[in-house]
Amino acid sequence: MTSRALLFALVLAATPAAAHAAQPVPWTSAVLHQTNDWYAGAEARRIADSVLLHQSPEGGWPKNVSLATPPGPEAVDPGAMNTFDNNAVALPMAFLARVVQATGDDGYRAAFERGLDYTLAAQYPNGGWPQYFPLKGGYHDHITFNDDAMVRTLRMLRDVAAGKAPYAFVDQARRGRAAQAVTKGIDLILRTQVRQDGELTAWCAQYDAELKPAWARRFEPPSLSGSESVGIVGFLMSLDDPSPEVIAAIEGAVAWFRASAIRDARIETFTDAQGRQDRRLARVPGAGPIWARFYELGTNRPIFLGRDSVVRYDVAEIEHERRNGYSYYGTWPADLLAEDYSAWKAAHAPAS
């Protein structure tokens, strides 16, 4: 019996029969917001044992899987699904760190360290992270800001480097490597911010090896992102001692968010002539602001692509399935502009 199969059998044997029949604990960010006593208790250990079962030999985890439930015999080899997408690495690592902090368990600590080593090994020399590691080819190899994959990684590594709770148990060598990785990541962020007419604007969701804006899926073109750019700016604002370059990046992005806002408009849900639920952009005085997910490079016009990859300038012109199955509009920068930027500006205002 392999060590992986043995651990699986031990988890099942140690779990009461009633628990097998119970609804699995949801694997969400809620597992990061419990008491220290809970992390030291049986339920947290049960989940942590399951997280270990899902961890691949490389040290990563799959996405879109409840790690709180042990994988069944039909589970896909996790080594084929190592990804930073959809919080697949940052969430289990943050959870395991809390369990280690509460229990001091060497097994959980070793799993966390494997995840940290995996994360550090995945960073490109230019400072970015791919969506999948080991590399799979295609757009999965691109530097990925999409869905905050790289930002989540940098936030976790920054806290590791600082020895911030719950990462105080991490050894000094790994803390040093994490600090270097964060420095390289920040440099990559600054290098990839797009300039238009000499002005700093926003970021694209993914970049190729030459740091050029790149395609992801067929409906995700090289473009300025009204969504992912928010997470990047939020991370830059969280830095304790921002450099002049970081400050300029934040100011440029905030100016772009303001200039790119779509006012007097909102997204409405309605029933179309075929009786289907649909969505449309409605012009309503006083509504908004909202932002587009994709802005055309060079023109800064909102663009919309369906699965045919054809650029259109009206969301109503793409197919019903994509129009209703993807967020082409949103309010992503609203809180950042209304609250976060003012607080950051006050904290970093030049001394008089």
Closest CA to 153 of 186, 126, 195, 125: 186
Instruction: Using alpha carbons, select from 139, 153, 240 the residue that is nearest to residue 189.
Output: 153
Per DSSP, the three-state class of 182 is: helix
Q: Which amino acid is at 226?
A: G
Q: Which of 82, 86, 146, 300 is catalytic?
A: 86
CA 143 to chain centroid, in Å, comes to 12
Contact 250, 236 (CB under 8 A): yes
State the CB neighbour count (10 A cutoff) for residue 156: 22
H or E element at residue 236: helix 228-237
Catalytic position from the list 191, 217, 258, 283: 217
* 109 is known as an active-site residue: no
- Active-site residue flag, 86: yes
Residue with tokens 């084929």: 80
Tell me 77's DSSP state: P
Query: Which residues are annotated as catalytic?
Result: 86, 217
